[in-house]
Structure 1
Amino acid sequence: MARNFIQPGETITMTAPYDVASGAGILVGVTFAVALATVAAGKPVEARRVGVFDMTKAPGEAWVADTTKLYWDNTAKRVTATATGNTLIGVARQSQASADTVGRVLLTGQIAA
């Protein structure tokens, strides 16, 4: 292993920018992840940058599995298919009806532009 290797990076410690519940999304700067514990704003939290999660989705949107790009709406604190003003986080892992309030999301770990 390279001597300069620090960690894999799938799970990282972040400072919660707001009160966050375990399983909720957090955006810190240009890095998005899912909190693995419930913490208050300003506290450190372990967060997962990649993987498949069931997350709160925007109402009225139908998603197509492995086709619909997904974004984090940091104002509403939910996942949406709307790109404008939001941060790309991954893709729909399963198709979701517009009436669904939770959607299956594949976080791909990219850094926001």
Structure 2
Amino acid sequence: MARNFVQPGETITLPAPRALASGQGFLVGALFAVALAAAAIGAPVEGRRVGVWDLAKATGEAWTAGQRLYWDNTAFRVTSTAAGNTLIGVAAQAQASADATGRVLLSGQIPAA
């Protein structure tokens, strides 16, 4: 393996942008992850960038499987609204508009600016 390889990158340590509970989504710059443990604001937190997660969802939205999903960094929820939000992945299954959480497949990709 190349000597300059550091880590695979599916999990990465980042400064918590706010107080986080384990399992909450968070955004640092354009990088979205799910906290693997609780962390105080500014503390290092391990975040997972890929996989399928049940995350807080914008109520009132119905999702279809495969629909593009975005992170609302004001409400700290996943939404289907692209404007002003950061692309994080797709719906892993259909969700009803009344659902408070939604199953999300995180792509791990950094969206274009």
Per the shorter chain, which TM-score range?
Answer: over 0.9
Instruction: Identify unmatched segments of 5+ residues in structure 1.
Output: none
Identity of aligned residues (%): 71
Matched letter for residue 46 of structure 1: E
Deviations 1:31-85 (A, max 9, x none): 110000011101000000011000010011111112x100000000000000000
1:32 and 1:99 mapped to 2: Cα distance? 25
**Cα distance, 1:102 vs. partner?**
0.6
Counterpart residue number, 1:22: 22
Matched letter for residue 7 of structure 1: Q
Counterpart residue number, 2:58: 58
**Cα distance, 1:108 vs. partner?**
0.2
2:56 and 2:30 mapped to 1: Cα distance? 20
1:1-12 alignment, distance < 5 Å: 1-12=1-12
**Total equivalences in the alignment:** 112
| TM-score (structure 2 length as normaliser) | 0.97
Q: Find runs of 4+ consecutive structure 1 residues off by over 6 angstroms.
A: none
1:99 and 1:25 mapped to 2: Cα distance? 20
Instruction: Identify unmatched segments of 5+ residues in structure 2.
Output: none
